[in-house]
Chains A and B, each alone.
Chain A
């Protein structure tokens, strides 16, 4: 294993070296950074040319200058990593270091959401191949494929952000909205669940009624202005999560597993009140991680003590259930902060921002205010970025699962009488994930590119901004710094994909 990783890393390093060399020369040869000075008739032009030529080492041919840059990068191994200076004499390393967390925050959430949602929808469409739902999702996927992200971003700003803010000013859910959402909900559930013709109508009716009623109730209770879940909803959602996770992970016929998961849900309800004393304005990331670890431990222990056989599967179920319920409690707290956050002077009841990465007018150290502020600013860019890669995952997951479902071993599994759940989750899904890991790694480079555009649209200051400055100002070192970091991230994603690949596919034995 160790040998495999080192071999892989060395190949990746060579690739990174090659691509840096390529970009460096491409950029250096394609333009003259002091062109306007050469044309200038200013008296000190000659002097300035000399200064810049010396500073930017323009007298050294680019292929050789590259090695000068490389020397700074290789300084990493002796402890003085140096990406050079920008043309305004700032340290590229520091600038990139400051911009990187912003971009990662943007990319990471969007990618994870896109993967989860895309694979889920992809699986459903594959299992309901050639159904109406499949056709509709295929069309939506193609439509999303064809949308330029900057165009979507403008629409999102207009309709989602400004529209919702205007709605909050006068929070009345009108009849057309209720009808529209009811129709959508009905179509969605009828499509996802499928079945015989009469059953589809039944499901459509129930779906439409329940979603229409929910939205009416939420509007009537003024929930959009003062949202919260409360202990009862935490319990209800917890039980729902317990059932859903058990069904997916174990199957409801596994009673002990179900009871263990329900036990976790009950515990979530019990700790709801005492935990509120911890969720103070002074809450912080360390505390959050500690609580998360505690959740994993306790729910794992519940899984352990509830079962005697097949323990690891039950523990997996209870841990997932526990983490999700903890997430619900966290979201509940955020929701109860919502109204006081939205009515601060800085936000002024327009909580969905269209530009920027944080509200600079917000003067507070309250953890919940700051988290909510960060999340609201992430909302639109994440949506825009997610939309680009979401469609791809639907198509790939669908194709990959269909491919697997046609294999002989699936027929064998069916023939020996396995339930459809076991078949899909244990035999088909795992194998369908194998080709997807490769795509995830490649998609990452695409998302970084998308982030450059998204940052521009939403006025974030991250890698994209640096990149734009670098290209516009012909700043070679800055450009190389941006490229070096994004390139390394893409390569790391590649490496991760290789490792996941070998973990998922026992036929690939690495290091032998």
Chain B
């Protein structure tokens, strides 16, 4: 009984000691970085995301604009989405054409082969199509993320900082946009500007995706503006703009980053949903959503046409979500990390040595 009590006491002090020791002599950003690096799932996801992005973009190369007059930087994959090689059927099982040549079992035929993900109905290489789709999805994700982050931050900051009528006006406007279901507004926009290419689609969608972020930033600003350091800055004669951008914004950056990552994972799903409905990226260009929509009925006969685009969407969205989770944990000052057994032992030894 007595021993247990003592142990509990040591544990309590030990944990505090660990936490204090951990943050001593570090700046806020260093603490955040350390915590993030320690978040295993987030780090794995970050590496995976970077790997996927590099793989996708180098495979299909870069392509600006749509149609024949597009400016193209070639990638390492030998087919592009406009090539139409002959449909493969000799190496395929009976009655199936355009089967995938990817073989991960060591032995005969190991490797990527000519069409690792198979071919579509008219012979286009499905690997090239999937890579192109993934490229589109990643691009739209970043475009929506950046635009929404800028608008949301500015609207939220202004309305939280100035309060009063500016606040009510901006917030009612935000409410107004929130009430429109995202798919509806996305479809109205996507159907009209989908043919302009994925970049413009992203820009337009970004113009309507900032609402949640604006609310969060506003809440953060409302509480931060009452703090002493803001008063100090104001007494020192700082302008409103300086206070907003130099004093308050750095303190709210955690909330913004976390929310933007989640927004980006939502954006990738939104884009694929719109393309699935036929309101997003239009033929002859492809997106992961349009590929799934086109080949969902082939699920029983040629399942790979359905699996690959889906797996890539999920991989990207899952990585982003985990990175967001890691960032949230890293930025949260109240976060108490789980303390491993080894650290507990160490703390106990320290405690004994100092006692």
The residue that A446 contacts in the complex, of B172, B181, B187, with Cβ under 8 A, is B181
Q: Verify A445–B317 contact, CB threshold 8 A.
A: no
**Stretch in contact with the other chain, from A21-29, A87-95, A204-212, A312-320:** A21-29
The answer to the question of B265 belonging to the interface, with a C-beta cut-off of 8 Å to chain A, is: yes
List A contacts of B187 (CB < 8 A): 467, 471
The residue that A150 contacts in the complex, of B265, B293, B314, B325, with Cβ under 8 A, is B293
List B contacts of A19 (CB < 8 A): 176-177, 179-180
List A contacts of B189 (CB < 8 A): 26, 30
List B contacts of A23 (CB < 8 A): 180, 184-185, 188
Q: Roughly how many angstroms separate A448 CA and B292 CA in the complex, as a whole number?
A: 22
Chain A residue at smallest Cβ distance from B168: A11
Q: Roughly how many angstroms separate A15 CA and B318 CA in the complex, as a whole number?
A: 35
Q: Verify A449–B181 contact, CB threshold 8 A.
A: yes
The residue that B322 contacts in the complex, of A30, A31, A142, A494, with Cβ under 8 A, is A142
Q: Verify A148–B334 contact, CB threshold 8 A.
A: no
Q: Roughly how many angstroms separate A154 CA and B294 CA in the complex, as a whole number?
A: 12
Q: Verify A148–B289 contact, CB threshold 8 A.
A: yes
Encode B222-255 as 1/0 by CB contact (under 8 A) with A. Answer: 0000000000000000000000000000000000
List A contacts of B276 (CB < 8 A): 148, 150, 453
Contact-residue size bin, chain A (C-beta under 8 Å from the other chain): 35 or more
The answer to the question of B299 belonging to the interface, with a C-beta cut-off of 8 Å to chain A, is: yes
The answer to the question of B142 belonging to the interface, with a C-beta cut-off of 8 Å to chain A, is: no
Within 8 A of B (CB), among A458-512: 467-468, 471-472, 479, 482-483, 486-487, 490-491, 494
State the total of A-B contacts with C-beta under 8 angstroms. 122
List A contacts of B317 (CB < 8 A): 145-146
Q: Verify B172–A490 contact, CB threshold 8 A.
A: no
Q: Roughly how many angstroms separate A229 CA and B193 CA in the complex, as a whole number?
A: 56
Number of interface residues of B (CB under 8 A): 44
The answer to the question of A158 belonging to the interface, with a C-beta cut-off of 8 Å to chain B, is: yes
Chain B residue at smallest Cβ distance from A468: B277
Q: Verify B180–A22 contact, CB threshold 8 A.
A: yes
In the complex, how many angstroms separate the beta carbon of A28 from the nearest chain B beta carbon?
A: 10
A449 with B325: in contact, given A18-B176, A143-B318, A150-B273 (CB under 8 Å)? no
Q: Roughly how many angstroms separate A37 CA and B115 CA in the complex, as a whole number?
A: 44
Q: Verify B183–A453 contact, CB threshold 8 A.
A: yes
Q: Verify A14–B172 contact, CB threshold 8 A.
A: yes
A452 with B188: in contact, given A146-B265, A154-B299, A406-B334 (CB under 8 Å)? no
Name the residue among B188, B193, B272, B310 with the largest chain A CB count within 10 angstroms: B188
Q: Roughly how many angstroms separate A149 CA and B299 CA in the complex, as a whole number?
A: 16
Q: Verify A486–B314 contact, CB threshold 8 A.
A: no
In the complex, how many angstroms separate the beta carbon of A82 from the nearest chain B beta carbon?
A: 22
Q: Verify B318–A154 contact, CB threshold 8 A.
A: no
Q: Verify B184–A142 contact, CB threshold 8 A.
A: no
The residue that B178 contacts in the complex, of A11, A154, A445, with Cβ under 8 A, is A445
A490 with B179: in contact, given A147-B314, A148-B313, A154-B299 (CB under 8 Å)? yes
Q: Roughly how many angstroms separate A27 CA and B299 CA in the complex, as a whole number?
A: 35
Within 8 A of A (CB), among B302-327: 306, 310, 313-314, 317-318, 321-322, 325
Q: Roughly how many angstroms separate A452 CA and B292 CA in the complex, as a whole number?
A: 17
Chain A residue at smallest Cβ distance from B321: A142
Encode A1-37 as 1/0 by CB contact (under 8 A) with B. Answer: 0000000000100111011001100110011000000
Chain B residue at smallest Cβ distance from A142: B321
The answer to the question of B269 belonging to the interface, with a C-beta cut-off of 8 Å to chain A, is: yes
Encode A195-236 as 1/0 by CB contact (under 8 A) with B. Answer: 000000000000000000000000000000000000000000
The residue that A145 contacts in the complex, of B265, B310, B334, with Cβ under 8 A, is B265
Q: Verify B313–A151 contact, CB threshold 8 A.
A: yes
In the complex, 26 of the A-B residue pairs with CB atoms within 8 angstroms, ordered by the A residue number, are A18-B173, A22-B177, A23-B184, A30-B191, A30-B193, A146-B317, A146-B318, A147-B314, A148-B269, A148-B273, A148-B313, A150-B292, A151-B313, A151-B314, A154-B306, A445-B178, A445-B182, A452-B277, A471-B187, A471-B191, A479-B188, A482-B184, A483-B180, A486-B181, A486-B184, A491-B179
8 additional A-B residue pairs with CB within 8 Å, beyond A150-B296, A487-B180: A15-B176, A26-B185, A142-B318, A145-B317, A148-B292, A445-B179, A450-B183, A471-B279
5 nearest A-B pairs in the assembled complex, by CB-CB distance: A146-B317, A449-B183, A30-B192, A449-B181, A146-B318
